[in-house]
Structure 1
Amino acid sequence: MFAAAIFDMDGLLIDSERPIMAAWIEAARTLDIELSHSEYLQVVGLATAESELILAGLLGGAEAYRHAVAHVRRLLQLERSDGTPLFPIKPGAGELLAALRARGTRCAVASSSTSAQIRTCLESIDVLHHFEAFAGGDEVARAKPDPALYRLAAERLGVAPADCIAFEDSENGARAALAAGLRVVIVPDLKHPPAAVIAQAFHVLESLHDAMAHLPRWFPGMRVA
């Protein structure tokens, strides 16, 4: 039915949203500010420039934001001092990618992270080899929900957007994929997309594990040795 799968990365393939949120909450405390989960969730799925404005407002201005950024970076760096990946793989991701590869399904990543960050993160969880193409936020003029990232990923695969399924966790990501002409499978993470976006989804899953049962219908493809 579909020729290719295009994946978001943060919150979908890697469990990055939780440790990043925890780091920001801890950084806010160094400024004597109690940043709540609900306040932080305002920035999940937003482009960097938008999230910077919101966080600066929550933390008391640009100087406070710069202090918090430095603290967040230190905290996240400490987490991988034992040699483990900075962000662990999400449940079901490795299994799904291996199954798609076995079916001969072409895969790409369309992420607001930079191209270098994409490759580093995916290599750290040993799934980089499953992907043929990448589209990073540093390669397009506008971030999600603009469709540019998904259009670029499909173009690099050489597959029409209508022949692709996008796997997404966020509202902006889902809107971007829909605007680009892809079908969207939503796997919610920290912040569930609103009902209006869920209603437009091709399917909604609790985890990537649940996608396995749908592969024979979604990606009938040719099995490869």
Structure 2
Amino acid sequence: MQHPYKAFIFDLNGTMVNDMEFHQRAWTDILNNELGGNFSDAEIKQNMYGKNPEVLVRMFGKGKFTDEEMEALSMKKEKAYQDVYLPHLRLVPGLQEFLDKAYAANIPMAIGSAAIPFNINFVLDNLNIRKYFKAIVSANEVEVSKPHPETFLKAAEQMMVSPADCLVFEDVPKGAETAKNAGMPCVILTTTHHPEEFAGMDNVIHLSPDLTGEFFDELIK
């Protein structure tokens, strides 16, 4: 079966690279050890989506930090994450082969991520995969982050492909919700969440621990 998708949009963290454990470690250190919070691992995992300042507001409430303080804390967290994750940096199994096949078939691809350019560049340049992507939409390019559809809609627009013709790759329920809000079907990589957490999301067409197997082979023909 040949699937009718004309473009692919990838979330980055947890989808292209299995790094969410390292993000959570960095957030835990900032939120609990530096800022005096007493948040559980479950609370942090549940709330570490969207832009970094949004995470800080979600955890501590509005008005706790100035914009400048949140920016400094965000960069401190990302530098800590990168230092610890760099020795482990690699693509999810099957993704390199998938990127090569899609690129050779002239299927446009984009990254639609709530990460800042500092983190996106960290992955793209250390793994030398920038050439595969026609569009990169980061936290800096949107007014409202996921689950608002702006990230994925901008990616589709920059690739000049209709949203309905795009297939999204995500790893979290909020990401699947973002795809649904953008009118896009979604494949879930179960790197960070259990399959049952996506029950009832009718735009999720496939769940997999990585990008190996017949389903992914059939996407590019």
- The Cα shift of 1:86 comes to 7.5
- From 3, 8, 29, the equivalent of 1:5 is 8
Match of 1:53 in 2: 57
- The Cα shift of 1:49 comes to 3.5
Where in structure 1 are there 5+ consecutive unaligned residues? Answer: 221-225
Q: Secondary structure at the match of 2:167?
A: strand
Matches within 5 A, 1:80-99: 84=86, 87-99=89-101
One-letter amino acid matched to 2:44 = Y
Q: Could you tell me how far apart the structure 2 residues matched to 1:181 and 1:6 are?
A: 13
One-letter amino acid matched to 2:60 = A
Q: Could you tell me how far apart the structure 2 residues matched to 1:185 and 1:194 are?
A: 11
- From 40, 46, 61, the equivalent of 1:42 is 46
Q: Contact 2:176–2:203 at 8 Å: present in 1 too? A: no
Q: Contact 2:22–2:84 at 8 Å: present in 1 too? A: no
Number of residues of Structure 1 aligned to a counterpart in Structure 2: 210
The 1:204/1:158 distance shift into structure 2, 3 A limit, reads: same
Q: Are residues 1:14 and 2:17 paired?
A: yes
Q: Contact 2:78–2:119 at 8 Å: present in 1 too? A: no
One-letter amino acid matched to 1:36 = S
Where in structure 2 are there 5+ consecutive unaligned residues? Answer: none
Q: Any idea what the Cα deviations from partners look like across 1:38-77, whole Å, max 9, x if unmatched?
A: 12112133343431123336xxx659x9797676456335
The 1:25/1:196 distance shift into structure 2, 3 A limit, reads: same
Structure 1 moving runs of 4+ over 6 Å = 65-68
One-letter amino acid matched to 1:214 = F
Q: Could you tell me how far apart the structure 2 residues matched to 1:123 and 1:102 are?
A: 20
Q: Which shows bigger deviation, 105-114 or 37-46?
A: 37-46
Q: Secondary structure at the match of 2:137?
A: strand
Match of 2:108 in 1: 106
- The Cα shift of 1:217 comes to 3.6
One-letter amino acid matched to 2:176 = A
RMSD of aligned alpha carbons: 2.9
Match of 2:207 in 1: 204
- The Cα shift of 1:215 comes to 4.0
One-letter amino acid matched to 2:104 = A
One-letter amino acid matched to 1:127 = I
Q: Contact 2:53–2:74 at 8 Å: present in 1 too? A: no
Identity %: 25
Match of 2:84 in 1: 79
